[in-house]
Amino acid sequence: MNVRFQNAVAGRVQNTPPIWLMRQAGRYHAHYQALRQKHSFMDLCKQPELAVAVALGPVQEFDFDVAILFSDILFPLEALGMDLDYTEEGPRLGFHLTADTLGRLKPAAEAIPQLKFQQQALAATRAVLPGEKSLIGFVGGPWTMFVYAVEGSHSGSLTAAKRSTPLLDSFYKTLLPVMEANIRQQLEGGAEVVMLFDTAAGLLSPACFQSWAVPALARLARAFPGRLGYYSRDTQRACFDQAFLKLPWAGMGVDHRWDLREALTLRSGGFVQGNFDQSLLFLEGAVFDRVLRDWLEPLRQLTPEQRRGWVCGLGHGVLPATPEAHVRRFVKTVREVFHD
């Protein structure tokens, strides 16, 4: 396990933050591209030895502190019988959730065994991952899963999903037991923390976030105290009331629209992950170096106590075509600025 990551989860004071990036294994990386030329995305996810190869690549090349399960958030929907394919345009479900198709979802007992491959991938990754590196898993946030089930994506204003919320309780009754079993499988496979990536939650108003997202999130957080991290892109401060912040999260991630200094004051325990703007990794060399150091400077001025819990990363995932040299430079610069 990585000492820096474990310190961040435990809220222990340290000078150098651990570093991991969402989508650190992905299309920007030549290692991934070489594997993708030989194998389908589905095979990379579902064959444990391939998932291991993808997950290890960026840790070996960029020296991230944490390896991440290589998979996708939509596999629980496939397990529930919605069918799933990955095309050049993105994921495609066999049908969309409606009042008429709700009954086509498989019961949890049939769905849960279909997700065992993620546990196997984590166990295989842990077996070959250097002992000083940590390992995390992930699932989609329940609201995000509902959005995908209804719309097939989460672009636009989510009008169809919001119009379909009368189906939400029934969908959650089917989904949440599957998610709980999936999280348990990932933890048993060796994940130290499982992240909840709720990427569609940012298009909810604070009131709708409380009504449609929080009850399911609270159920999961309480089922796995101190083992789940939460990240939602675009979500505003107003959505996170004290009751939500006091749930037993292992930590929370914030996107690049947040002032990280403020986010560090909000935590009720655990880590705060973020939040350099991933688009800025495309800046030209000298400009990138200056902008990165400008972003780090206010954090450098904080005391280690004030930075307690920080996990350094991006506001969202590494974008396709991001220069690998800048990913490497990001890691190197953070460790130079916050050296022990």
Q: What is the mean pLDDT of residues 189-205?
A: 96
Per-residue model confidence (pLDDT) at position 62: 98
Distance CA 45, CA 91 (A): 13
**Number of domains comprising the chain:** 1
143 with 73: CB under 8 angstroms? no
Per-residue model confidence (pLDDT) at position 268: 65
The domain in which residue 300 lies consists of 3-337
Per-residue model confidence (pLDDT) at position 340: 73
Angle formed by the axes of helices 30-38 and 48-62, nearest 10°? 160
Residue 159 scores a pLDDT above 80: yes
The one-letter code for the residue type at 294 is D
Residue owning tokens 């604070």? 206
The dihedral built from the CA positions of residue 152, 72, 58 and 48, taken in this order, carries a sign that is: negative
Residue 328 scores a pLDDT above 70: yes
Distance CA 316, CA 298 (A): 20
pLDDT band at 156; cut points 50, 70, 90: confident
Distance CA 118, CA 306 (A): 36
pLDDT in tens, 237-248: 899 999 999 999
Burial bucket for residue 191 (CB in 10 Å: 0-12, 13-18, 19+): buried
pLDDT band at 204; cut points 50, 70, 90: very high
The CATH number of whichever domain residue 333 belongs to comes to: 3.20.20.210
pLDDT in tens, 85-137: 998 778 999 999 999 999 999 999 999 999 999 999 999 999 999 999 999 99
Q: Check residue 184 and give left, alpha or beta (phi > 0: left; psi -120 to 50: alpha).
A: alpha
> What percentage of the chain exceeds 90 in pLDDT?
94
pLDDT in tens, 61-91: 999 999 999 999 999 999 999 999 998 778 9
Per-residue model confidence (pLDDT) at position 313: 97
Distance CA 202, CA 239 (A): 9
Per-residue model confidence (pLDDT) at position 219: 98
DSSP bridge partners of 19 = 312
Task: Output the DSSP codes for 192-252.
Answer: SEEEEE-TTGGGS-HHHIIIIIHHHHHHHHHHSTTTEEEE-TT--GGG--HHHHTS--SEE
| Two structure tokens written together for 15 | 């000078």
Q: What is the DSSP letter of 19?
A: B
pLDDT in tens, 18-38: 999 999 999 999 999 999 999
pLDDT band at 168; cut points 50, 70, 90: very high
Q: What value does the mean pLDDT of the chain take?
A: 96
Q: What is the mean pLDDT of residues 159-173?
A: 97
pLDDT in tens, 254-310: 999 999 999 999 876 799 999 999 999 999 999 999 999 999 999 999 999 999 999
| CB proximity list for 215: less than 8 A, separation 6 or greater | none
Q: What is the mean pLDDT of residues 309-327?
A: 97
Residue 6 scores a pLDDT above 70: yes
Q: What is the mean pLDDT of residues 208-235?
A: 96
292 with 281: CB under 8 angstroms? no
Residue 220 scores a pLDDT above 90: yes
Residue 324 scores a pLDDT above 70: yes
Q: What is the mean pLDDT of residues 147-162?
A: 91
Per-residue model confidence (pLDDT) at position 90: 82
| Two structure tokens written together for 328 | 């490497």
According to DSSP, the β-strands at 228-231 and 193-197 are parallel
